[in-house]
Structure 1
Amino acid sequence: MSLAVQFFTYGTGDALRAVHVERPTPGPGQVRLAVRAAGVNPFDWKVLAGRMRERMPLDLPAGLGTDVAGVVDAVGDGVTEFGVGDEVFGTSLTPSFAHSALADPAKLAAKPATVSWAVAGSVAVAGGTASAVLDRLKVGDGETVLIHAAAGGVGTFAVQLAVARGARVIGTARERNHGLLRGLGAVPVTYGEGLVERVRAVAPDGVDAVLDASGRGEIPDSVELAGGPSRVLTIVAFDAADTGIQIHTGSPLGTPVLQELSDLIQKGHLHVPIARTYGLTEAPAALDASRAGQVSGKIVILPE
């Protein structure tokens, strides 16, 4: 038997229970991981709250978690990429807030010995999303990009990846996170009324592209600053499609992207701030902390 976090009704963290379940058996082309770390993403608490029921109906009880890092402890038929004992990170096929999870080797990469479990378990979803949206926005050397919620999970990755591409980054965040953003290479500005004026004070000609990871109503200001909607993209404001901006709902993620992120971490070009770690039985508090949105950096569940 193995321990896993499940919810039997939709709600907040109080709906979660750590229960004993059978360890999953890997099928052909799958591996099983002994989970060492599982990053918490906003998607997780949204699923728990029932916000994704129409797009992703579930049979309850159900589990949570997609980010994962762990040790391969079983392999299915036909798997040649990894063997038992290999340390890996990426995304899981089954919920990762658990002691055991199944994964597709094509969505994993080898975990470097110099990268902590907490960091490795936090990279795939946020880092993969950031890489994909910067590709869609065609952010390149010498351009200026505005990133909303720049101190958040996706935001911190997007800031650093854009800087690595040679872009100048302006990031919106609460004032208490401005020091973090400066440390990541961004010029911080504060949310709220007067945003356009504050951005123009540091970028008089506006910006080339905008990534909205906030969803706090910045789309009109973003379109104005970018000179039109074509290079404005949101990962949260799905009701803004009629404005002509780009809507990003998913990121095809594979080993090459994970390897790229891993290389940047090892070279010191990508820092993954860890806000706090929780044990598996503390998952309710972890999900509630993510939902409150008051942390800067990643929240991670460490099952052991």
Structure 2
Amino acid sequence: MGNHAATMRAVRLHAFGGPEVLVYEEVPRPVPGPGEVLVRVHAAGINPPDLYARTGFARIPAGLRPPWTPPLVLGSDVSGVVAALGDGVTAWQPGDEVFGMIRFPGQGSGYAEYVTTPADHLAAKPAALDHVEAAAVPMAGLTAYQFLIRELRPLSGGTALVNGAAGGVGHFAVQLARLAGAERVIGVASGRHEEFLRGLGVDQFVDYTRTPAAEAARDAADLLVDTVGGPDAHRLLPAVRRGGLILPVYLGDYHRERATGLGISLPDRMQQVRSDGGDLGELAALLDDGRIRVHVDGVHPLPEAAAAHRRAEQGHLRGKLVLQVHP
């Protein structure tokens, strides 16, 4: 086992593949470099990019895949306590409770007892949340925040429609759309999520298993936040008004020429969420005030990361899945 001070437990993969490649084992403990912080991880969030990375980015064309090679520790979202400081770090002290999306869109290594991170990727953990809840926030919350608050001119009234409204990004998007200035928010999800979404302030709920969103909300949306995407994304076009905007969270085929003909705008390129402690601090203030909240669908102990990935692959989550690292 070696010198315990220099090692830690982590979940690592030695080959790309299914959830079974995730192995709980002893690995070297990282050391913070200049401008970095060592965090003792209490909880780590699970995100779709973790699943893509575990397969070796199999769904991405070979020429565009990140050059990651095993052995790898996955995970960008963590909440924990500052354990040590690299040279030049003055923003944090050992003992500070912090959370963050680490090194994204690079490799984060959060499924571990300790992780290093650039100091400016962290924000103070919201006092209103425990570490498990805080670890559920960063990527999903920052995606919704950066797309809706950072990038968008404030919505002057109007209606926002969120497709996949009960999921990680979706459940933040329905709350932040309101803060961005939407007068009405329509949430699209399966029927079992109706009460949950109405509790988050959705004005109209569409159960897509009964009625297609494009039918139930025809010409209703000034803004469509689509957290589903995929080859059938264009089926939502009839729900968007002329002059409306589509914000895709994942790649989708929106029949761009047809959309343009309908007077619907799409971004020129896919937006990518980025690590940003300042943005996360703004989100933390909203969480502390109770203006937005986070929902944790399930918690798995770190050694059971493979089971957590199996659950993630089934989809239909309400909010987020989290790994508990330090009880």
- Could you say whether these structures have the same fold, taking a TM-score greater than 0.5 normalized by the shorter chain as the test? yes
Deviation, 1:283, is: 0.4
Distance (whole Å) between structure 1 residues aligned to residue 242 and residue 71 of structure 2: 45
2:198 to 182, 202, 205: 182
Equivalent residue of 2:221, what SS?
Answer: coil
Match status 1:254 vs 2:276: yes
Equivalent residue of 1:102, what SS?
Answer: strand
Distance (whole Å) between structure 2 residues aligned to residue 166 and residue 104 of structure 1: 33
Deviation, 1:252, is: 3.1
Output one character per residue of 1:205-249: Cα deviation in whole Å (capped at 9) or x when no partner.
521011110125553233332235861121212555855622534
Whether contact under 8 Å (2:294, 2:319) holds in the other structure is: yes
1:225 to 231, 234, 239: 239
- Where in structure 2 are there 5+ consecutive unaligned residues? 1-6, 261-265
Match status 1:199 vs 2:214: no
Whether contact under 8 Å (2:167, 2:318) holds in the other structure is: yes
1:292 to 314, 318, 321: 314
Whether contact under 8 Å (1:92, 1:101) holds in the other structure is: no
Distance (whole Å) between structure 2 residues aligned to residue 139 and residue 180 of structure 1: 26
Distance (whole Å) between structure 2 residues aligned to residue 131 and residue 114 of structure 1: 19
Whether contact under 8 Å (1:137, 1:231) holds in the other structure is: no
Deviation, 1:292, is: 1.0
2:28 to 22, 29, 38: 22
Distance (whole Å) between structure 2 residues aligned to residue 146 and residue 37 of structure 1: 32
Output one character per residue of 1:40-70: Cα deviation in whole Å (capped at 9) or x when no partner.
1111111112335633121111111001111
Task: Kindly report the root-mean-square deviation, in angstroms, between the aligned alpha carbons of the 2 structures.
Answer: 2.0
Distance (whole Å) between structure 2 residues aligned to residue 241 and residue 57 of structure 1: 31
Aligned to 1:272: 294
Aligned to 2:157: 142
Whether contact under 8 Å (2:232, 2:253) holds in the other structure is: no
Equivalent residue of 1:252, what SS?
Answer: coil
Identical pairs, percent: 37
- Where in structure 1 are there 5+ consecutive unaligned residues? none
Aligned to 2:87: 77
Distance (whole Å) between structure 2 residues aligned to residue 301 and residue 184 of structure 1: 24
Aligned to 2:176: 161
Q: Aligned pair in 2 of structure 1 residues 278, 130: CA closer, same or farther (>3 Å)?
A: same
Equivalent residue of 1:61, what SS?
Answer: coil
Whether contact under 8 Å (2:188, 2:205) holds in the other structure is: yes
Q: Give TM-score, length-normalised by structure 1.
A: 0.92
Opposite residue 70 of structure 2, the aligned amino acid is: L
